[in-house]
Amino acid sequence: MKKALRKGRAAEPSEVAESTASCDMVRVAAGFDLHGPDAKPGMFCWNFGFAGEEVHRVLWHILPEGSVGCIPIEPLGPKTREALKGRDGKTHTWEWDGNLDKPTLKPSVHLIGRWHGWFRHGQMKGK
């Protein structure tokens, strides 16, 4: 159940019902503007690169409820792992099946208060 919000205040994650929506994933070219007017839920792109001597792999995506984010893919080098630490001091990473167009990731993806689900065989499946 949604709580009433004071005018001018953003909702806290605990105040918004988590989406259970699902959608097909659509790969777009690296550099596509996932915040732009043509962006749609399910779109994703890969970013493969180097940070010094370390390789990094990141999947940028738009979740079914509209949030844009990135998922670091294992393996990560120590410098990249340090750079990606979250507020809790941990680096959260995912395993990937190697499929560039219809990826499967482990574990589930959880944007607390917004969406929780899985990326499986090219679909974002809500919990």
Instruction: Give dist(CA 34, CA 18) in Å, integer.
Output: 21
Lowest mean pLDDT among 16-25, 64-73, 76-85, 99-108: 76-85
Does pLDDT of 7 surpass 60? no
Mean pLDDT computed over 96-101: 96
Mean pLDDT computed over 11-35: 83
Residue the block writes with tokens 């993806």: 109
Sign of CA dihedral 44, 85, 99, 110: negative
Q: Give the pLDDT confidence of 27-84 residue by residue, as tens digits.
A: 999 888 999 999 999 999 998 887 667 778 899 999 999 999 999 998 888 887 888 8
| Structure confidence at residue 49 (pLDDT) | 81
Instruction: Give dist(CA 116, CA 64) in Å, integer.
Output: 10
Lowest mean pLDDT among 4-13, 57-66, 83-92, 111-120: 4-13
Which of 42, 47, 79 has the alpha carbon at shortest distance from 61? Answer: 42
How much is the CA Rg of the chain, to the nearest whole Å?
Answer: 16
What does pTM read for this prediction? Answer: 0.79
Q: Are 43 and 32 in contact (CB under 8 A)?
A: yes
- Region of residue 31 (phi > 0: left; psi between -120 and 50: alpha; otherwise: beta): left
Instruction: Give dist(CA 46, CA 70) in Å, integer.
Output: 9
Instruction: Give dist(CA 24, CA 28) in Å, integer.
Output: 13
